[in-house]
Structure 1
């Protein structure tokens, strides 16, 4: 039977993809859910809600906190949040403003679009509310002078909110389906499936997570939270060695590892912790050059700076990539470790299985939700198209 050559197939797929990309895009927005950033002032006030305002301010001053600065950035964010809400309402859009304490699954379901206002942390919070690839999430950076906001719209839209919404309504954007990691745990005790939140008061107030249920399939427990940035496994006490077993891409061979934990990243997360762990400082490149008698200056336009920049940029991969990047932190390579030899401290995989031989370890999703990950627990990680997060990019 005749079959087209691969090149022709790619051309056809590209043409069809471009056709559908350019024609099914205009977004009807009648209801928007604005997810508010939790400012440091609000965080502190929540911790000490039993105090009067005077007692609270006295507490902060006595411990040396700059209350003026705290209030300044709190008010800056609140003014921006109000600006986003007023802009949307002036365009005939019904608006609800929520935060991590009062957001529910019903509110998410009723909205046409989820709009986090803050920085990347707020965007991650909003993304954790969405468990499919249908609901659109578009973020605005409330303080572009202090925050990069990689996940938000470009900084210029922080002062052009209406233009951004109009571009969505007119279809002047490109879809970006950001890959997310689905984690399945195999545990001997269901108590290991109880989440712990990395904010002091979340355990009592995280209505978002409580509205979701762990999906069970025999021994397999699919966690009701998807990782947009990364999944980390390792001992809670960073000074303690993490004993782990690792298998990649369905391999039947386990590799025994001693390290400081393993970080499994998406393309979105490759600009975050993944990059911080693996980046090569200019100083290190300069020292390597010095060993081979090459000019080792560390100034802005030096060879060391150029090489460091090229290497660090190579760590980043596309946010819609279907592979995961893994990093074994501080891999101990001595004598019998790793066992068997040969595993790289950093690489890519489509499926990752990690078994714990740890004492007091955790599995942390996007730096926000933690699960017990002690001896015998197995984590299966994979990326599936239906778990993607629907976002957009603007071609300015």
Structure 2
């Protein structure tokens, strides 16, 4: 493979059943005194944040739960201001991608002046922020091991990302027991989000041997375990496999980047408030179809990882199996179509134009991205039959 490759990762990962019990020991490594736990109201209702506070023992701890799905820049500004005003010296992000991204940003920006919006883009945060420990309770975003946070720009009806080394967690704690109560619909959406990360990383122009390894292993685990995690949510083996798959997918796309599934999903979420994982899942087969001719052998590899028999098939026919496998998986876990989400076809032009502006996804995409190509992807997605 030509060129220089760079693989980035966090410093410390604590993983396993009951791993949250080690939280106080991890906090002690930073000599912290005052700890903020950033989460969301839905998770507070489950009692999981209370368990985390209990695991912290005698530390001065506050739970901050003013985080909405797909957090806005204003949400991050409020959380950052709270961190500064109250003098916290360590931030814990607990929950799904929304709480985690808010926590990552608040910890990083607590030591950096200026508007949050000024940090949108790549490597614009100059100074290291507060230490941060990330504890995911969903298996999908992989945000615990990436240097990315995605925020909603409500006034512009879109989403944009902050990418910075200052967003890397100092510690990630992955405890599958914390995912046991996750509802089936959220399990499905987050699992398909992880699958999207892995597939896009594997076919990315920026892929490399390490990202290939993690991406294919994530795809294999998701193909084998997502259905069970959705329909038998009490199955801890499936939950643990999905949390590991999300981790591997995060390690893959953290260095290889994502492509135009994400490039179109961000405006879809921003304009119509479609949950990120659902938006990815609805678009994934159609972006795969668009990209297929640019990466036939890689899509055949994806089919194999999803358990499809490709022996004796041509490379093209084997690659096609990856599309049918993804469509079947999405159907089996209950992912809706664009029409079922009441997205109007009249939005195609605006979605395509916004998607084309997302250079962070355009550049890694394996096939050259054009406005006409994005319109074609969206037209196919809108023509999809009902999922049920």
What is the TM-score of this pair, normalised by structure 2? 0.30
Q: Which has the higher contact order (CA 8 A, sep 6+)?
A: 1
Considering fraction of residues, name the structure with more helix. 2
Which structure shows the bigger proportion of residues in strand conformation? Answer: 1
Relative to the length of structure 1, the TM-score reads 0.29
